[in-house]
Chains A and B, each alone.
Chain A
Amino acid sequence: MAGSKEIKRRIKSVKSTKKITKAMELVAASKMKRAVASTLSSRLYAEYSWDILTSLSKNLEEISHPLFEKREGGNTLLIFITSNRGLCGAYNSQVTKKALQIVKQQNNKNNLDLITVGRKGDVAMRRIGRNIIATFTELPANISLSDVAPISKLVLAEYTAGKYDKVLVAYTDFISAMTQKPNIKQVLPISKTDLKELIAELGEAHSTPSEVAQGKESRIDYLIEGNRDKLLGSLAEKLTRMQIYQMLLESNASEQSSRMVAMKNASEAAGEMIDDLTLVFNKARQAGITQEISEISAGMASVS
């Protein structure tokens, strides 16, 4: 009977683990819902700002602003977005792998510095001894645009100071609750085609305003109040911030959904384990009873 006691203890511990993973799954699911909703609601703003940008400069090739100009040279700043906490499946390791590809490519003559968002990525990059110029780990679960302001200001300041020629972001694209894709995107200089794609992607779910944007962009003559270049500049800054914000939201949604899936798997595995252990426990119990009975009857036989 000693064996069955041990099994009982194991069943109990697996059961409490299952409770925890189940709770984490539910929490992640509700967080994911919120994250996805805010990702969707920020699209409208992105569409409109794009609309204004295209209206401002009748054709995109005319835009001349430092944030739009391509620079020679390969000094790169990589913003690396990961989660603060683990237990979310392959989420962190996948995006880290993707980021490391970039890091390795640029090893030789060009300089590559990092801004890390999230503790996990920070730890990973410090381990391999990369130069990290800033770390942001205090972002709330419900990110608002003002939380992104410090990051975008830092990035813009470093970029306009000419320290870097290119700013990339390694983040995780939220495709659906089951699939997330690690991705690298260039935010600065603002590449016009990239931006167009971004907006087009965003507009898919929400086709009317983007159709308007595409159809009318070059036809209206706008009266512009204030300095056009200034307006363009602040719009460019906003767009950069918006992009970083969008990527943070995507990453956040990805993190929560991959955590949800990981926890779901864990709960299922725990359930299976409990079933197996229960079977073993019952067998052991039965064996114990059989043994006792045979002992008793053997005793009886020897007495009579």
Chain B
Amino acid sequence: MSQKIKLKIITPERLILEEEVDQVTFPTTEGELTILPEHIPLIASLKSGDVVALVNGEPVPFAVVGGFVEVKKEDGATSVAVLADFAEHVSTLSDEVIARSKARAEELRTQAENKGVVDFEHFEAELERSLTRVRIADKWRTKKYRK
């Protein structure tokens, strides 16, 4: 495994991660996908879930919501760009954040019920974001990963 993948995770707000990794796995709309070095160029759209990069045998997980992934060859190396609407390293999802996220999701749900369709899209996005955070944090709670 001498070859590495250049991984970039980008959100509209900022660049979340730029690192050389051994492999990267993400949830696409069609299923789960793992990219190894020398992968052919590929474009896929992402589902909300966790993007897991493998660096020196250690997983580095991120919670992402929506977006695309692009795999291409750049200067002989494979580069992967993840364009997510929202992305966060799992370690930043502390219990406190999770609790707040859960509360927020609940609150949004009740609000959405009361409010009807007016701001539905906004609620939907927020809700999905909150739920994804909770789901991914729960998933990684007992597992080991690199911070």
Contact = CB atoms under 8 A, between A and B. Distances in A.
A48 B13 contact: no
A164 to B, nearest CB: 19
A224 interface: yes
B12 A145 contact: yes
Contacts of B43: 52, 55-56, 222-225, 231
B41 interface: yes
Contacts of B73: 220
A48 B41 contact: no
Contacts of B126: 146
B44 A226 contact: yes
A196 to B, nearest CB: 19
B60 interface: no
Q: Which of B68, B86, B125 has the most CB of A within 10 A?
A: B68
A205 interface: no
Nearest to A245: B12
A221 interface: yes
B70 A41 contact: no
A132 interface: no
Interface string B69-89: 010111000000101011000
Contacts of A55: 41, 43, 70, 72
Given A48-B81, A221-B41, A231-B43, A146 B122 contact: yes
Contacts of B33: 225
A51 B86 CA distance: 19
Main secondary structure of the interface of A (DSSP, over half): helix
B29 interface: yes
Interface residues of B, number: 31
A234 interface: yes
A145 B13 contact: yes
A135 to B, nearest CB: 12
Main secondary structure of the interface of B (DSSP, over half): strand
Nearest to A220: B41
A177 B70 CA distance: 36
B70 A223 contact: no
A134 to B, nearest CB: 10
A93 interface: no
A221 B40 CA distance: 9
Interface string B83-107: 1011000000000000000000000
A48 B73 CA distance: 15
A202 interface: no
A153 B121 contact: yes
A222 B71 CA distance: 8
A178 B24 CA distance: 45
A45 B70 contact: no
A171 B28 CA distance: 36
Nearest to B81: A48
A38 B13 contact: yes
B11 A224 contact: no
B48 to A, nearest CB: 13
Contacts of A145: 11-13, 85-86
A280 interface: no
Interface string A231-256: 10011000000100100000000000
Interface in B7-37: 10-15, 28-30, 33
Interface of A: 38, 41-42, 44-45, 48-49, 51-52, 55-56, 144-146, 149-150, 153, 212, 216, 220-226, 230-231, 234-235, 242, 245
21 contacts: A41-B13, A42-B12, A45-B12, A48-B10, A49-B83, A52-B43, A145-B11, A145-B12, A145-B13, A149-B121, A150-B122, A220-B73, A225-B30, A225-B45, A226-B30, A226-B44, A230-B45, A231-B43, A234-B45, A242-B12, A245-B12
Given A150-B119, A225-B42, A225-B44, 10 more contacts: A41-B14, A45-B83, A48-B10, A48-B81, A49-B68, A52-B70, A52-B83, A226-B30, A235-B68, A242-B12
